[in-house]
A and B are shown apart, each in its own frame.
Chain A
Amino acid sequence: MKKFKFMKYKPSSWGFLSFISVLLVILPCMYILFHIFDKPNGNWYHIKAFLLKDYIINTIKIVIATGFFTMIIGTTLAWLIAAYDFPCKRIFKWALILPLTIPTYIAAYTYNGIFNYTGVVQIFLRNVMKMNLDPKYFDIMSIKGVVFIFTIFLFPYVYMITRSFLEKQSAALIENARLLERGGSDIFIHVILPISRGAIVGGTSLVLLEALNDFGVVSYFGVQTFSTAIFKTWFSLGDTSTAVKLASMLMVTVFIVLITEKWLRGRKKYSYTTAKVREIVPVKLKGVKAVGALLYCFSILSMGFIIPLLQLSHWSILTYKKILNFKFVGFMFNSIWLSIIVAVLIIVMSVVIANFCRINSHWISKVFSKISIMGYSIPGAVIAIGVILLMVSVDRKMVGIYKAIDSSSKTLVLSTSVFMLVFAYTIRFLAIGYQAIESGFDKIGMKFSEASRTLGYGVTKTFFKVDLPMMKPALISGFALVFVEIVKELPLTLILRPFNFNTLATKTYEYANDEMIHEASIPSLIIILVSIASIYLLYRIENKERR
Chain B
Amino acid sequence: MFIEIRNLTFKYRNSQQKTLKDVCFNMQKGEILSILGESGGGKSTILRLIAGLETPLSGSIIVDNKIMFDSNTFVIPEKRGVGMVFQDYALFPHMKVDENIKFGLTNLNKKEKDVRVLEMLKLVNLQDFSSRYPHELSGGQQQRVAIARALAPKPSVLLLDEPFSNLDTDLKSKIREELKSILNQAGITSIFVTHDREDVKSIADKVVTLKEGEILKSGKLEEVL
Contacts and interface: CB of A to CB of B under 8 A. Distances in A.
Contacts of B106: 456-457
Contact of B82 (A4, A9, A454): A454
Given A8-B53, A447-B90, A470-B94, A454 B150 contact: yes
Given A5-B55, A361-B13, A470-B94, A10 B104 contact: no
A435 interface: no
Interface string B163-193: 0000000000000000000000000000000
Contact of B54 (A3, A8, A457, A458): A8
Nearest to B161: A447
A470 B90 CA distance: 12
Interface string A434-453: 00000000000001101111
Contacts of A361: 13
B86 A450 contact: yes
B78 A8 contact: no
B104 A455 contact: yes
A354 to B, nearest CB: 19
A76 to B, nearest CB: 39
A469 interface: yes
Contacts of A5: 55, 72, 74
Contacts, number: 81
A448 B78 contact: no
A34 interface: no
A2 B73 contact: yes
A413 interface: no
Nearest to B152: A455
Interface in B35-94: 51-55, 72-84, 86, 88, 90, 92-94
Interface residues of A, number: 26
B94 A450 contact: no
A6 interface: yes
Contacts of B75: 1, 3
B149 interface: yes
A147 B72 CA distance: 63
B84 A451 contact: yes
A457 B78 contact: yes
A1 B103 CA distance: 27
B104 A6 contact: no
Given A454-B51, A454-B84, A457-B106, 19 more contacts: A1-B73, A1-B74, A3-B73, A3-B75, A4-B74, A5-B72, A7-B55, A448-B92, A450-B53, A450-B84, A451-B90, A454-B53, A454-B78, A455-B78, A455-B103, A456-B79, A456-B81, A456-B104, A470-B93
The 3 closest A-B pairs by CB, nearest first: A455-B104, A447-B90, A451-B90
